[in-house]
Amino acid sequence: MTTTHPNALRKIVIVGGGSAGWISAAMLSHYFQNGGCAVELVESEEIGTIGVGESTIPPFLQLLASLGVDERDFIQATQASFKLGIRFEDWKQKGQRYYHPFGAIGGPIGPHEFYQCWLRAKANGHPSNLQDFAPGTVMADQWKFIPPVKAQRTLIAGASYALHVDARLVARFLRDYAEARGVKRTEGIVTDVVTHPDGSVAKVVMKDGREVEGDLFIDCTGFRSLLIGKTLDVPFNDWSDMLLCDRAVVVQTENVGAPHPYTVSKAEDAGWRWRIPLQHRAGNGYVFSSRHLSDDEARATLVQNVEGQMLMNPMFIAFKTGMRRRLWDKNVVAVGLAGGFIEPLESTALHLIYRGMDFLLRFMPDRDFDPALAAEYNRRMTADYEEIRDFIVLHYCTTQRDDTPFWRDVRNAPIPDSLRERMALFQAQGVLREGVDDMFRNPSWQSVMEGMGVRPRRYQQLVDTVPYEVITQTLDQSAPILAAQVAGLPSHGEFLEKHCPAPKPETVVAPFGAVA
């Protein structure tokens, strides 16, 4: 005789669609496709969806794999191109650029981390640059691409990659996936939320009077934050004193030539601009501080610098950097923009949606909603948001620019204590604090630190146990070998055309391209 959970959830209601809603629905449908809990998503075509996406980080591919989605099919359906990292321009100083690549930089030399060995070589005058040994950077800089798994037993195998995607097409793809596995979609605008006496949510009421009841509610209402914010009134931790940008203007353009396999982030007078090429168009935007730049000036800067014909009128969106003090409160879990927002400098928004749902599945409650589950969920998600905040602040607080009021104010902005501690540890001996679940691994911190001119005062003494000739021989041989291996690869455009070409869309409209 088998037994079932005596107090299991009977129904989960997702309020809101877009990337957050349909990623949530797809993940839930995968786990509940054999029954056990009904999943219903309520959204309205009348409410515009912010295109939270366009640029992802490598763990996004883990989401696709966990859902059993064929990567090639997904790429073609979402007009995707490949992303080997981010190219930062004018961040340290005007005229300087560097890459933050995905994947490894070099490989261990004996028992020692490559970075420490490279630091020793630099201390002795070696002329190499750190990114000479990053296969992701070398491929990106030459506009080459091949999946690292297809380059085993070469130095290219250490690279990793993500995708540039059309966020609206991602939502459409995952909607089809979720509905095929039993998720019910209800069209309608939610105008009211009814709560139980203990304050938890009982049901949502739509404009036409229909009601949707549930046990667990997932708030995917974007910046409106209808459930976690307006209904439960969970306080908001405001981080806008550390990150000054609070507004963005965006536009889509036709591609000029083949797409490059990286995201461009170019620092401007009052923020930064991005360019993200898909297979048949590009997303462009300017994230800026409204205290330092007017909308008209921001629009003019963006329009003057885009490549290709504009496919829409530039659109603006305001945002506040920070997160809800609790992303899970009572029987509501906030996913995506409803729970928090950090500017898209490192393309983390889609990942936070995936992480939020992944942790929810790990700590899935029953109808008792044991507070210990919510407490651990909130601890883990807060750690994720704070890690991303610190990593973004790192790009700003290490700048040497002081040529505009914005950059002078950036240099005077407060730095989180957690970041100060990370930087002090790194500057001492190149050591990095790394947790089991950290999003950004050592090569990411090393790349941004080096790119922004922050180098440890000394390397670790234990590296002296390696004969210096072994280190220099490794450096002198591996960089040209890597460069030669990359030179023989197909271009990014050629690889897309041969292996996963996407049909050209008839129309393309999305309001907020690169927030990811």
- For residue 354, give the 3-state DSSP assignment: helix
Give one DSSP letter per residue of 258-295, joined into a string: SPPSSEEEEEETTEEEEEEE-SS-EEEEEEE-TTT--H
* Beta-carbon contacts of residue 231 (< 8 Å; ≥ 6 apart): 193, 195, 201, 332
In the beta sheet, which residues pair with residue 212? 204
Tokens 């306080």 sit at which residue?
235
Pairing of strands 11-15, 38-43: parallel
Beta strand extents in 310-403 (DSSP E only): 315-318, 322-324, 328-329, 332-334, 340-341
Which has the closest alpha carbon to 195: 328, 331, 324, 326?
331
Cα 42 to chain centroid, rounded: 25
Could you say which DSSP state residue 3 is in?
-
Q: Helices 167-180 and 18-31, interaxial angle, to 10°?
A: 30
Is the separation of the CB atoms in 326 and 374 below 8 Å? Answer: yes
The token pair that represents 44 in the structure block = 């309205």
The token pair that represents 194 in the structure block = 């009814």
The token pair that represents 53 in the structure block = 């996406």
Written as one letter, the residue type at 295 is D
Other C-beta atoms within 10 Å of 380: how many? 17
In the beta sheet, which residues pair with residue 333? 218, 328
In whole angstroms, give the CA distance from residue 26 to residue 20. 10
In whole angstroms, give the CA distance from residue 16 to residue 1. 40
Element of type H or E holding 350: helix 349-362
Is the separation of the CB atoms in 60 and 350 below 8 Å? Answer: yes
Catalytic residues, which ones?
83
Other C-beta atoms within 10 Å of 427: how many? 15
Is the separation of the CB atoms in 23 and 349 below 8 Å? Answer: no
Which has the closest alpha carbon to 398: 128, 170, 88, 161?
88
Q: Is the dihedral of CA 178, 180, 182, 188 positive or negative?
A: positive
In the beta sheet, which residues pair with residue 204? 193, 212
